[in-house]
Amino acid sequence: MIRLTWVQPEDLVGHELRQAAEDGRDVRDVAARWHAAGGHDAPPRAGASEPGAARLRPLAERLLDELAAIPSPLDEPTDLAAIIAATPAWPAARDRVPGGRRPDLDRVPGGRRVDPARVLGAWQGRVAGCVLGKPVEKIPREGIRAIAEATGNWPIRGWFTARGLPPEIAERWPWNRRSAVNSLAENIDGVPEDDDLNYPLLALTVLERHGRAFTTDDVARLWLDELPAGRTFTAERVAYRNLLAGVEPPETATLRNPFREWIGAMIRTDVYGWVNPGDPATAAEYAWRDARLTHTANGVYGAMFAAAMCAQSLVATSAEEVVNAGLSVVPPGSRLHRAVRQAVEDAARESDFETVVDRLHERHGGLHWVHTVNNAALVAAALVHGEGDVTATIAGAVAGGWDTDSAGATAGSLAGALNGGVPRRWRTRDSLATSLTGFDGIGLAELARRTQEMMGA
């Protein structure tokens, strides 16, 4: 029997109960009925339940629909107009000429053009952080440190390696095997495929095909045309299933989707920032159009936060400026805004980054390791504490021990843009592997060129 993770109703109820606890819904009666029937809680680091759980499917379907009917008491809107109304610091968008074109959009305020090196640096940084985090994805924080220390790589200053790793450490903290085959120092040959890199390619594609007026429906159709279902996970896989069942956005994000506040949308929106340098408001709006296909509330805010930071990272002079741009598009009453603000306050005053991460885990340790809130706070903290330095930033994001490749990729994107490139130690052979049509083997310089072209489209 083929067990498909992330979509079976009996695998989703535990996650939905966990989501309810996070967004303030009282679901104790539903939880009691689920547990009395033998239903399980959300597994901490996996997507599927034990064999035999399919007998609970009819009950799971009923309970998922019942849970969906219980509203959250939190004031965390998903509608764009409501998000803007709830965000007093929402920045002004840069004007565009009639018809939507702005030939000089690649100029920063003051008339200077965006430095192409910063666009290339953003792509390089995203790749570097992603590849660094790949082999230790799903390994908790203490395991990552044990591996790094045992191989002389603590603090992290280079790729992970199996060379010299004591057998007892390797046995206790096994690599993510699917990733380690092409992301350890001894076997990196170009840029391996990863969902954290596929999604920026899809964002670039939707802009090239549909222009700046693209819609959520355009994103959905592109997924069905170009994105293999097996390359999707958590909220994206649920939304993909919903699309195939004839469900239309934005219901694709809410129908039996307990992962709607996880990190999936946040990893998809860097390009929307890069094509809007110095314009976090427009970047956030583009991100919202994409994110609402799969996510709600903090899941959407994370996407907008990342896009706004990426927009500012191409023109900013400091990490704090980048994070403030991101926060300017997130409702201040939201869980994500509070988490990021606390994280950067800690990062600004604590000299030891491990202390910063200790506090992050104390506050957010109950969240799933791929939730948006904890990972967004970690990315912001790593960027601020590292003062934008590429190595310190991606190392901090990965060493934090949550979604290592995703957090590393976003943190690297921001630091790479700030610095106009990444140190040579973080560069691979310039060839990106992907299952997306027309992109396999593409170089980062070509991606940067196409990204810069879209700034003035």
User: Which residues does residue 371 pair with via DSSP β-bridges, in sequence order?
Assistant: 262
Question: Please, is 158 exposed, middle or buried when counting C-beta atoms within 10 Å of its C-beta (0-12, 13-18, 19+)?
Answer: middle
304: its two tokens: 């907008």
Q: Round to whole Å and give the CA distance between 240 and 54.
A: 21
Burial of 240 from C-beta contacts in 10 A (0-12 / 13-18 / 19+): buried
- 271 Cα distance to chain centroid: 13
Three-state DSSP class for 200? helix
Please answer whether residues 368 and 262 qualify as being in contact, where contact means their C-beta atoms are separated by less than 8 angstroms: yes
Tokens coding 131 = 């590849």
Rg of the chain over all Cα atoms, to the nearest angstrom:
21
CB atoms within 10 A of CB 58: 11
**Joined tokens for residue 186:** 């001894």
Secondary structure element (H or E) that encloses residue 133, with its range: helix 116-133
User: Phi/psi at 368 (nearest 5 deg)?
Assistant: -65, 150
Cα(40)–Cα(38) distance, integer angstroms = 7
Helices (H), 138-228: 141-150, 167-172, 177-180, 195-210, 216-226
Annotated ligand binding at 195? The verdict is no
* Among 273, 271, 275, 279, CA closest to 94: 279
Q: How many Å separate Cα 374 from the centre of its chain?
A: 11
CA distance 265 to 262: 8
The sign of the dihedral angle between the CA atoms of 106, 107, 108, 113 is: positive
Q: Find out whether 406 is annotated in a ligand binding site.
A: yes
Of 318, 242, 274, 267, nearest to 105 (Cα)?
A: 274
* Alpha-carbon span 246 to 238, nearest angstrom: 13
- Residue 250: asked if its preceding bond is cis (omega within 30°), the reply is yes
Residue 122 identity: A
- CA 57 to the chain's CA centroid: 30
Of residues 236, 259, 261, the one with CA closest to residue 11 = 259
* Residue stretches of the annotated binding site: 403, 405-406
* Residue stretches of the annotated binding site for Mg(2+): 403, 405-406
